[in-house]
Amino acid sequence: MGGAHPTYMSEEAIKHADLIVKGEGEEVILDAIDDSSLTGIIQGTPAEDLNKYPFPDFSILDNQKRPLKRTPIYTSRGCPYNCVFCTVSSTFGRKYRFRDPEKILEEIDMRVSQGHKHFFFYDDNFAANKEGTKILLDGIVRRGLNVRWSAEARTNIAKDKELLELMHRAHCKYMCIGFESVNPKALETYNKKQTVDDVKRCVTRLHDHKIKVHGMFILGSDEDDSDTPRDTVKFCHEMKMDSVQFAILHPLPGSRLYDMLDSEDRIFTKRWSLYDGTHVVFKPKKMNPLELQRKYVWAWKKFYSLRRQPFRFPVSRRIIKGWNKANKGTLADLKARFGTIADKYSLRMEKNEDKSQ
């Protein structure tokens, strides 16, 4: 096993595997496969040169009945930021490492020849190296590559007009932006290093360049209260975001958030299957866990309501219906542990407000 969770919970993970690799695995993967005597917990070596590794072979996936809709590709690794809920900087380091733009273009060329047309740059912060990214995007334009792509980034991409122009010319379809919150105090708590004004400017400028915005928000910080989900949905509608996703704050092992909440005895379950951003696993400061869970589901329903988003409503309805069906037991546990008369009254008032609108 490898990855973030086995890296930070290696003593737990080794109970379920012969070998655990902590950290990055490229330099030890061949030994791990070829040497059957290699067991226990070992430390991987950070990959200093990302250009020396071969391109992933997707042929097995391409031959499936449901091939890849978006081809994954990356340009960098690491992150100098240190958001309280994130494990990227602790896992991959706070120093960026970049692939050569020409190497990335070579991979895109190869994928296009194989029939791939839609790409997703899965960097934790696309355009971290703005000059390198501009070379990459200019190369896509110059080569006339008929591709559509999307990526994840921070709000600061909106400050570079030349970059935005190149993104548009290189056929960027949409950007997934980690806005995280519309609550200024929550952004400070997350150590996000951005403001609500940064969020507004980012949405506006991406739209100005015909790039759709997928906003990503986290609910449940110590500064969030029962009004925060409603404020967040209202903000998303006012900014005319094309799509959003809401997540519940969850303390991933390896993050500063996990250490803080664990030391304060606020984590009430370590059933790791619930640590997916859709379940409450800790005690918030200004809401009870059941209220936060219900507000999370409400936010999804409210943003993708029939009146607001007619074409996306059926998809959202299936997602919420499926989540509720799969989590009956989890909801029952939350109700038994954290349900109160006040919470039931609040839920009834919320339903009445939805009907009146």
Asked if residues 213 and 207 have their Cβ atoms less than 8 Å apart, the reply is yes
Q: For domain 50-356, give the CATH number.
A: 3.20.20.70
Residue 13: HSE in the Cβ half-sphere, 13 Å Cα cutoff: 20
3-state secondary structure of 351: helix
The pLDDT of residue 343: 56
Task: Look at residue 55 in the predicted model and tell me its pLDDT.
Answer: 95
Q: What are phi and psi of 300, to 5 degrees?
A: -60, -50
> Which two three-digit tokens encode residue 245?
């996703």
Q: Where are the domains of the chain?
A: 1-45, 50-356
Distance, in Å, from the CA atom of 139 to the CA atom of 104, rounded to the nearest integer, reads 10
H or E element that contains 212: strand 212-219
Nearest to 292 by CA among 189, 222, 192: 222
Beta bridge partners of 42: 21
Q: Quick one: which of 246, 347, 232, 337 has its CA closest to 291?
A: 347
For every one of its 357 residues, what pLDDT tens digit does the chain have, with 9 covering 90 and above? 999 999 999 999 999 999 999 999 999 999 999 999 999 999 999 999 999 999 999 888 877 777 788 999 999 998 888 899 999 988 888 889 999 999 999 999 999 998 899 999 999 999 999 999 999 999 999 999 999 999 999 999 999 999 999 999 999 999 999 999 999 999 999 999 999 999 999 999 999 999 999 999 999 999 999 999 999 999 999 999 999 999 999 999 999 999 999 999 999 999 999 999 999 999 999 999 999 999 999 999 899 885 555 445 555 666 777 888 889 888 899 999 998 744 554 555 455 555 544
Q: Is 71 exposed, middle or buried (0-12, 13-18, 19+ CB in 10 A)?
A: buried
Closest by CA position to 223, among listed 182, 278, 265, 269 = 182
**DSSP run (H or E) holding 19:** strand 19-22
Nearest to 300 by CA among 215, 222, 202, 179: 215
DSSP string, 103-165: HHHHHHHHHHHTT--EEEE--TTTTSSHHHHHHHHHHHHHTT---EEEEEE-GGGGG-HHHHH
> What is the model's pTM?
0.90
Sign of the C-alpha dihedral, residues 290, 269, 192, 214? negative
**Three-state DSSP class for 22?**
strand
Residue type, 258: Y
CB-based contacts of 49: which residues, under 8 Å, 6+ apart? none
- Cross-strand bridge partners of residue 219: 248
Q: Considering only CA atoms, which of 212, 205, 144 is closest in space to residue 172?
A: 212
Helix (H), strand (E) counts: the chain: 16, 10
H or E stretch at 298:
helix 289-303
Question: How many CB atoms neighbour CB 30 within 10 A?
Answer: 9
Q: Which whole-number Å values give the CA distances from 135 to 27, 52, 127, 188, 244, in the listed order?
A: 29, 20, 11, 34, 30
Determine the pLDDT at residue 314: 57
Q: How far is CA 318 from CA 6, 140, 307, 325, 347, in A?
A: 33, 37, 17, 10, 22
Q: Write the single-letter amino acid at 268.
A: F
